[in-house]
């Protein structure tokens, strides 16, 4: 049965088991009765309700075409909901344009399956570019760059070019780029889709570290093994509808 409302994954576990931590009701993401119909008539999301609490780590899974990317696109304002409301970190995303939309996007780090690095720029330049585009001065860029590269284990690759890196390393650069301006929320759309199991797990471990320092992390994936190993909450999309949350318990997975 599809769930019409999936609340905090931190507090709705297996639909029966409740977390011992108190409910804070500090939603950083709230989708209410969201439907997304593309112009060709394709219904990507249907009457979807989802709340993610600040500091959560949530997996969104489901088969190809189930609406995972569309859901993330609604969160960062790449697409607009046909019906319903999308709230992210206090912003009503559906109505955002221009400067307000840019302001929201500065508060969201995004990681894609295909890394999207600039080929003729070094690792350091790829990461710094975001800060430069957002108007940070040189001193601040130089201050922020080393910890971001350290977080993803790549300080020694600062002067390498993307083509000199493995796929896993390129994805880690794209994570550094996504978090270098310290956003409160990180969205990752199939971040391990092009990686083998070892590199996938490295990427997830970095996302877990970022979550541990307070960043809300939302990851789409269809990799069930990775979800199981990660021990975080998961919701499932199927034909644009959201099904309940559950958590796999693998206490020794870290």
Site for ligand ADP, rule CB under 6 A: 38, 40, 42, 44, 62, 64-70
Using the minimum distance from each CB to ligand ADP, give the nearer residue, 5 or 82.
82
The distance of closest approach from Cβ of residue 219 to ligand ADP in the complex, given in angstroms and rounded to an integer, is: 12
Using the minimum distance from each CB to ligand ADP, give the nearer residue, 112 or 161.
112
Using the minimum distance from each CB to ligand ADP, give the nearer residue, 40 or 251.
40
Radius of gyration (C-alpha) of the chain in whole angstroms: 18
Using the minimum distance from each CB to ligand ADP, give the nearer residue, 208 or 222.
222
The distance of closest approach from Cβ of residue 150 to ligand ADP in the complex, given in angstroms and rounded to an integer, is: 32
> Interior CA angle at 65 toward 183 and 230, to 5°?
50
Using the minimum distance from each CB to ligand ADP, give the nearer residue, 126 or 236.
236
The distance of closest approach from Cβ of residue 171 to ligand ADP in the complex, given in angstroms and rounded to an integer, is: 18
Cβ contact 135:77 at 8 Å:
no
The distance of closest approach from Cβ of residue 190 to ligand ADP in the complex, given in angstroms and rounded to an integer, is: 7
Burial class (CB in 10 A: 0-12, 13-18, 19+), 239: middle
Cβ contact 242:12 at 8 Å:
no
Using the minimum distance from each CB to ligand ADP, give the nearer residue, 54 or 68.
68
Q: Which residues have C-beta within 8 Å of that of residue 141, sequence separation ≥ 6?
A: 128, 131, 132
Cβ contact 224:55 at 8 Å:
no
The distance of closest approach from Cβ of residue 48 to ligand ADP in the complex, given in angstroms and rounded to an integer, is: 12
The distance of closest approach from Cβ of residue 185 to ligand ADP in the complex, given in angstroms and rounded to an integer, is: 19
Tokens of 236: 């499932």
Distance CA 233, CA 11 (A): 9
Segment holding 130, helix H or strand E: helix 123-133
């Amino acid at each position: 049965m599809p769930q019409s409302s999936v609340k905090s994954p931190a507090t709705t576990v297996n639909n029966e088991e409740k977390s011992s931590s108190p409910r804070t009701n500090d939603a950083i993401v709230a989708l209410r009765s969201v439907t997304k119909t593309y112009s060709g008539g394709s219904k990507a999301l249907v009457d979807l309700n989802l709340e993610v609490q600040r500091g959560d780590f949530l997996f969104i899974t489901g088969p190809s075409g189930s609406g995972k990317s569309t859901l993330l696109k609604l969160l960062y304002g790449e697409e607009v909901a046909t019906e319903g409301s999308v709230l992210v970190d206090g912003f009503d995303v559906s109505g955002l344009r221009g400067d307000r939309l840019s302001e929201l996007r500065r508060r969201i780090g995004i990681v894609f399956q295909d890394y999207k690095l600039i080929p003729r720029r070094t690792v350091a330049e790829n990461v710094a570019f975001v800060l430069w585009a957002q108007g940070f001065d040189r001193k601040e860029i130089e201050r922020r760059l080393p910890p971001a590269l350290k977080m993803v284990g790549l300080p020694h690759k600062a002067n390498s070019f993307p083509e000199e890196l493995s796929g896993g390393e390129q994805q880690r650069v794209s994570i550094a780029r996504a978090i270098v301006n310290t956003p409160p929320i990180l969205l990752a759309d199939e971040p391990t889709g092009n990686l083998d199991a070892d590199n996938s797990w490295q990427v997830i471990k970095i996302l877990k570290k970022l979550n541990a320092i307070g960043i809300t992390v939302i990851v789409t994936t269809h990799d069930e093994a990775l979800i199981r190993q990660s021990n975080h909450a998961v919701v499932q999309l199927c034909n644009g509808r959201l099904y309940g949350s559950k958590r796999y318990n693998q206490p020794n997975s870290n």
